[in-house]
A and B are shown apart, each in its own frame.
Chain A
Amino acid sequence: MQSDNPSPSASCGPSDIGGFGGMTRRTMIAGAFGTAAAMMAGRANTAEGDSTAIWDGHVHLAGVEGTMEQRADRLLEHADRLGIQRLVVFLGALGGHDPKPEEVRQRNDEVLKAIARSPDRILGFVYLSPKYPKESLEEFDRCVRDGPMVGVKLWVAMRCHEPALDPIVRRAAELGAPILQHTFFRRGGNLPGESDPSHLAALAARHPGASFICAHTGADWELGIRAIRASANIYAETGGFDPCAGLVEMAIRELGPDRVIFGSDAGGRSFASQLAKVVSADLPEPARRLVLGENLRRILRPILRRKGIKT
């Protein structure tokens, strides 16, 4: 399914810095976007503790072609042009709405290949289907407890307020792995297993010790932000729908700057269009830095440190 993508399947190197209305391209971007722009101008800083590094919390190995390793390279090539340092990848090359355990495992193997290709740039969340609780816990252990992945991705197999999710959430919380749940408020009604942010709020209320990321903020974000407003353990994620002006401003006004996370939903979406939601927003620079990376790093820092992965 590409419900969160527009299609059904669904460098700024020195040569790019030319004269541009009396400004260089680099100064133009920097002037417009402040600190974030320095990252966008091509400096992918890998230093530990860098508060300005841009991390993208929602990426798939789709929208680009080739082997999984080649797809990872191509995604990073485009990310580099915008100064995006790290990508959180999950769901591999996507696939069916209601996968059997074998397909889930295949999707996760695809992500493992991408992580192995660029372990300093790519983080992975394990994809699970709550319809198969036993296999889900085994897959969590394979990919997170015993593997390099650092979070959980849940899509549209089952609405997330169902009790069947509880064992997965408990296991994730034990290891400090956040849970990213696809959400949508779809005109005319959601798909049978598709959650909206209200379902996620119900799940989060049962698990106050777990961290949840509300992917797409419901896409109809003016509703989604309200639906998760009272849930302190849910973070709004910005990607996967049109680059609507005003989204980030509203999210920060209603949720606070600590609860908003940049994600793109690339490669079905453009890194650029989705990043623009944040870099264009009327925000203080410290708040922008939180959205572009600091919040995600704060959520992931315990599990990354435990695995020896630099933040």
Chain B
Amino acid sequence: MIVDVNANMERWPFRRTPCDELPRLVDRMRRHGVGQAWVGNLDGIFHRDVGGVNIRLSEACRGQRDPALIPFGTVNPKLPDWREDLRRCHEQFHMPGIRIHPNFHGYKLDDPMFAELLDASQQRGLIVQLVIRMDDVRLQHPLIDVPEVDVSPLTKLIRERPELRFVVLNGADKIRSKAMGELASTTGVYFDIATQEIVGGVASFASAITPQRVLFGSHVPLFPLEASVLKMRESGLGEDTRALIESKNALRILGY
């Protein structure tokens, strides 16, 4: 079974994609052996009614068993009363974690609100997924100008919160940067493979940061699920390493 930790429901505002309706996405996951997917709601990037976004996410995932869809709600600490969104994700929707987009939501990681969000997430035992980028900033639609998230402050913040479980999405291709390299050496931090490139990149990435820190992620429906499926294949991984990346690491983070 594969656990895809980087799936999204709903539509990207600038483009339709073949699997941006949930039944088609679920069918594609099933065909490729994805047994569980951690799902965010793309509306959460752009909508201010985050409460509604998270209700729709929760309802879409409820009762979905093959694959199981695990909702990761949106929390935007720049919105008034964001702590209530976090509380609902935890207590009302029983989500295991949240997904955050600091660049689209307009804050830096040295913003005190971000530290508060990490504190609150750690206290509730929520996994935090941070998305470095949604698209190639060189090719963004002219109506947006959203840089990649600068992770420079992040290593210190996470080392100060040793109980926090933290997943970096769409950042694997930045691992050679100093800040991302430091982050990759920090306990409790995991990376998905959706944006990992170069030939055999999953194998070299796992070798660089240890296979225990690498998670299967696809960034569907913006990327095809097949990209990550085939990257695993291209890398020629041994059975144990493949199992860690495809499912065991993710299930361990969830507490299974």
A interface, CB within 8 angstroms of B: 3, 5-8, 10-12, 15-16, 18, 20-21, 23, 25, 28-29, 31-33, 40, 63-64, 74-75, 77-78, 81-82, 185-187, 219-220, 222, 241-246, 249, 266-273, 275-277, 279-282
Contacts and interface: CB of A to CB of B under 8 A. Distances in A.
Given A81-B233, A270-B234, A20 B33 contact: yes
3 closest Cβ contacts across the A-B interface? A280-B224, A272-B230, A276-B227
Interface string B6-46: 00000000011111000000000001110100000000000
A229 B88 CA distance: 50
Given A28-B31, A273-B197, A280 B227 contact: yes
A6 B173 contact: yes
A151 B3 CA distance: 43
A270 B223 CA distance: 14
B41 to A, nearest CB: 18
Nearest to A64: B199
Contacts of B231: 270, 272-273
A279 B226 CA distance: 8
Interface of B: 1-2, 15-19, 31-33, 35, 135-140, 142, 173, 176, 195-201, 220-227, 229-231, 233-234, 236, 239
Given A81-B236, A246-B18, A249-B18, A219 B227 contact: no
Contacts of A243: 223-224, 227
Given A78-B199, A78-B200, 10 more contacts: A7-B197, A18-B239, A21-B35, A29-B229, A64-B200, A81-B233, A81-B234, A222-B15, A243-B227, A244-B223
A5 B223 contact: no
A82 B32 contact: no
B207 to A, nearest CB: 14
Contacts of B173: 6-7
Nearest to B15: A246
Given A78-B234, A270-B231, A219 B199 contact: no
A266 to B, nearest CB: 5
B18 A74 contact: no
A302 B223 CA distance: 36
Nearest to A266: B199
B224 A276 contact: yes
Contact of B196 (A31, A82, A270): A270
A246 B17 contact: yes
Given A64-B199, A280-B225, A273 B230 contact: yes
Given A32-B31, A245-B17, A276 B199 contact: no
